[in-house]
Structure 1
Amino acid sequence: MRLHTASTTSSTSSSQASPMLHLTSLAIAAFLLSNQPPRSSLCLGNKTHRPPFDNQLAVLQAKSKPESSIMSTDATASTTTTETTQQLSSAHEKNIAQHAASLVSRVIDATIPTVDDVLDILSALERDTLPSSNNHPGNDDNKEECHMTIALLESTKIGKILTKTIKTCKRHKRGSNESKWDDAIALSERLISTYKRAADAEAAAAARRNQHHTKKEVTSTEGLPPTVATYRERLIRQKKELYKDPPVLPPQLVQIETQRVLTPPRRNKAGELTFTAGTHTDSSSAEALQQALQDFHPNRTPEEILRAGSFGGTYFRPIFSSVTNRRYTSAQVLEDTVPREWIEGLPPRMLSSSTYNVTLNKYKVKCGGSLGMWESSGWISSSDPYGWFQWYCRFYSGRRCSDDVRQIGRWRGVAGERGRFRSQLCNKIVAAGGLERGGGVSPVVRQTLLHWGLEITEEILERHKLRMK
């Protein structure tokens, strides 16, 4: 019984000691690997061959693994493998850095470097980074295994150092009869081209992974695009116009107020509409909207715009929004946007046609940009994926949201007192002799302003004249 107990104790002690032995063995192996003599000391014809990087990893793992490791858990084994790989990667980087330092000190900065010295260093670098060339000297460069990464190129600067090495070799070749300088130049160029292919392949693989992730996100995720790349992919897949490339991300996080404004808009003596800000959850937002409303006075209601003939009859057509990554139907958007009395008696071709019909427009001309143009410019919000007129319909009906100030600012830039289209049209009408004589001036601008809820009146024209004096 006592013997059995001792045996059990001994076994337990051995099992407990095994992790320490394992780590000690691993540390010794890593130390020996990282402190091997510099590869530059090997001559070109030396038959001594260092195992390739992957083989070193296998040997080191095998030697560092104690017999008692069969008692270890899978998690411990996985952790040990990761640590070993990291140590080998560090040793590999150290070797390349040593070769780079040797090229600088013994070739680039040397007064009279010897060609044999150059070839020794380059050959050692080749053995460390192109292990397959040792076993298969005739390998096709395009298929050659290469232990070089973008991170190694950046940390060791080996690519730039090889380029300087080529220049140094060419300079010394001019004053020498040694044909080996050509060999050194050729080997340096081969290393550079192979490293470049490896870096390009790594970058391409990363791009494919990112593209796969982006495409998956594009096709499966509704809501605002998280990145410009995702937004661009959406626009391209939906065959939208990229008016701005890269596109501008849409406004983020539009908050809809729960309380609607019940007071309807009023008209002043000039026929212009005035609106009430209403209550907001955020008092600063209410103040900002109140300030913006002082300059927001369209003179056409949404119903008047639609009945006059606008958008070529296409505004409420079915769309697939790149902003929300959702499809919208005409019936759905009309129900969510327009009260029935606004469109009572209007045929569908004036509201939801998929084909733009200029004869339906009041001024019989086509104007406006594509949905892709508006989306790629960052002007469309998730709350109103059809655009400004949809926002105007909802704002007129009493909805308030955090996007109101921005949308009013857009109107002010186009149709406000100093808006570019309004000013252009007023100038042309004045030059033509007034509204009566200039009735046919700039039908495209007139139609555009109608879409923004404004038509030029005598009052607007007189104010413009006073402002221009």
Structure 2
Amino acid sequence: MSSNIAAQVKSLTESVVKEILNNESPSVEQCLEILTSVQSTIAPDHETKSVILIVSIRILEESKLGKMITKSLKHLRRHKRSSESDGDSTAVATWNQCIAIADKILISLREQVAAESGQRKAKKVAVAKAESFQPGLPKTSGAYKERLRVQKKEMYKDPPAMPPAQIKIEEEWVGEPSRDEETGEMKFIPGSDSSAKLKEFLKDFCPNRSPKEILNFGAFGGTYYRPIVSAVTNIKYKSSDVLKNSVQKEWIEGLDHKTMLTSLTYQASVNKFKVKCGGSLGMWESSGWISDSDPYGWFQWYCRFYQGRRCGDDERQVSRWLKSAGPKGRFRSQLCNKIFAAGGFSHVNSVRISPVIRQTLLHWGLEITETVLRKHGIRVGKL
């Protein structure tokens, strides 16, 4: 059916071009016959109010029928004026018929294009809604957006950035990092499948605060391991289950879980520096930062990486740390510069200097110490 219509439309378009556009003295009767044929082909029920899809957008794009009919209107009106000048009222009436039919053809084509576009959009929405209820990574941006909408998440990016592809977890875990007793900085070893780039990144990946220290100092407003529904995996997570497979039991001994770990309400008073910082889960998800291996985010990844798990997401996550808290990281550099501006080493622990950045860096596993400040000063020429 579609191929027959396509052939007819192509033939009719060629007739429009030949007899109307490229003919200096066309027969008004022949023009009327061609346009009537076009109308009967693309809109056999043009007298009804319903829009029947006869010609697809693809056929219109290939044949350029709409474009040719639009051009033909200019020619039809010119020929009508010539007939008016000649005083041929019969020809004028017929040219008016041609113009009216051409107008109706264009209206019909616009309606059919709009109807098909609407059907395509409705189909995409239906598919996205169906996919939004299925567990696993979203297949399309539309399905991901629908998940975020249904879960009433913040849409920081619209359309949302897709999450990373499914992450492969290495079977063999490595040991915990070594730690410099004086500086507190840690060194991590790569896994057997780690990329060359990750191995290079790890040379500068030196957090000086462990997951245990971060949680015990006070972080994330006490909400990090609250129960969530992940838009990335479309799975509901319970705090008790996630804590078991993310942190070591001794890390959180003595902590009030409801206040320090699983609170549903962000409380700045819980944080070490008594300020609020960071974005929502929806912001992280819609930005494409969350993977299926660690649906809670970077800190969950850090907890597991610290314990020796290695996976295909390590390179990306370490890279994110380097950009934020690494030797040239934006937050680390900003805070160090502010400390130097305030007087240098005597202000290294002054909580009055950018407590929000200090809390942010703590979430990334870093606090500014004299060692960190000295390294920055040497790098930027302040020492």
- The equivalent position to 2:101 in structure 1, one of 162, 187, 195, is 187
Contact 1:243 1:377 in 2 (8 A): yes
> Is 1:126–1:191's contact at 8 Å kept on the other side of the alignment?
yes
Q: Which residue of 2 aligns with 1:127?
A: 40
Aligned equivalents of 1:378, 1:145: Cα separation in 2: 41
SS at match of 2:152: coil
Q: Does 1:156 align with 2:63?
A: yes
Aligned AA for 2:148?
L
- Deviation track 1:405-439 (CA, whole Å, cap 9, x = no partner) reads 21111101000000000000000110011243461
Q: Find the residue that maps to 1:401 and give its secondary structure.
A: coil
Question: 1:268 & 1:106 partners in 2: Cα distance?
Answer: 90
Q: How does 1:400-439 map to 2 (within 5 A)?
A: 400-437=310-347, 439=350
Q: Matched residue of 1:174: which SS?
A: helix
CA shift for structure 1 position 286: 5.6
Are the equivalent residues in 2 in contact too, given 1:314–1:350 (CA < 8 A)? yes
Opposite residue 215 of structure 1, the aligned amino acid is K
The alpha carbon displacement at 1:147 in A equals: 2.7
Report the secondary structure of 1:94's partner residue.
Answer: helix
- Post-superposition offset of 1:453: 0.6
Unaligned runs of 5+ in 2: 85-91
Conserved? CA contact 1:261–1:399, under 8 Å: yes
Residue 303 of structure 1 pairs with residue 212 of structure 2: yes
- 2:353 aligns with 441
Matched letter for residue 318 of structure 1: P
Count the aligned residue pairs. 371
Residue of structure 2 equivalent to 1:225? 138
Q: Which residue of 1 aligns with 2:8?
A: 95
Distance 1:250 1:324 in 2: 10
Q: How does 1:4-403 map to 2 (within 5 A)?
A: 86=1, 89-132=2-45, 139-140=47-48, 142-143=49-50, 145=52, 147-177=54-84, 178-219=92-133, 221-277=134-190, 279-280=191-192, 282=193, 285=194, 287-347=196-256, 348-403=258-313
Distance 1:291 1:97, change over 3 A: closer
Instruction: Name the CA shift for 1:276/1:91 in 2 (closer, same or farther; >3 Å).
Output: closer
User: 2 CA distance for matches of 1:92 and 1:453?
Assistant: 65
162-171 or 239-248, which deviates more: 239-248
Q: How far is the alpha carbon of 1:343 from its aligned partner?
A: 0.8
Q: Which amino acid aligns with 1:150?
A: I
Superposed displacement of residue 382, structure 1: 0.7
Query: What displacement does 1:130 show?
Result: 2.6
| Partner SS state of residue 291, structure 2 | coil
Report deviation, 1:148.
2.2
Q: CA deviation at 1:144?
A: 5.5
SS in 1 for 2:346: coil
In 1: Cα distance, 2:51 partner to 2:233 partner: 46
The residue number in structure 2 matching 1:60 is none
CA distance in 2, matches of 1:271, 1:110: 87
* Percent identity of equivalent pairs: 49
Find 1:452's aligned residue among 355, 364, 367. Answer: 364
Task: Kindly provide the CA deviation profile for residues 438-464 of structure 1, in whole angstroms up to 9, marking residues without a partner as x.
Answer: 611111111100100111111111111
How far residue 115 of structure 1 moved from its aligned partner, in angstroms, is: 2.9
Cα distance in 2, alignment partners of residues 256 and 94 from structure 1: 54
Higher gyration radius (CA): 1
When structure 1 is superposed on structure 2, of 325-334 and 250-259 the one drifting more is: 250-259
| Larger RCO: 1 or 2 (CA < 8 Å, sep 6+) | 2
TM-score, normalised via structure 1 length: 0.75
> Are 1:240 and 1:372, in contact at CA under 8 Å, matched by a contact in 2?
yes
User: Would the alpha carbon gap of residues 143 and 227 (structure 1) be closer, same or farther in structure 2, given more than 3 Å must change?
Assistant: closer
Structure 1 contact 314–354 (Cα < 8 Å) conserved: yes
Contact 1:316/1:330 (<8 A) preserved: yes
Provide the C-alpha distance between the structure 2 equivalents of 1:297 and 1:365, rounded to a whole number of angstroms. Answer: 25
Counterpart CA distance in 1 for 2:176 and 2:301 is: 18
For the 8 Å contact 1:131–1:146, the answer to whether it is kept is: no
TM-superposed CA distance for 1:214, in Å, is 2.2
Supply the AA of the counterpart residue of 2:9: I
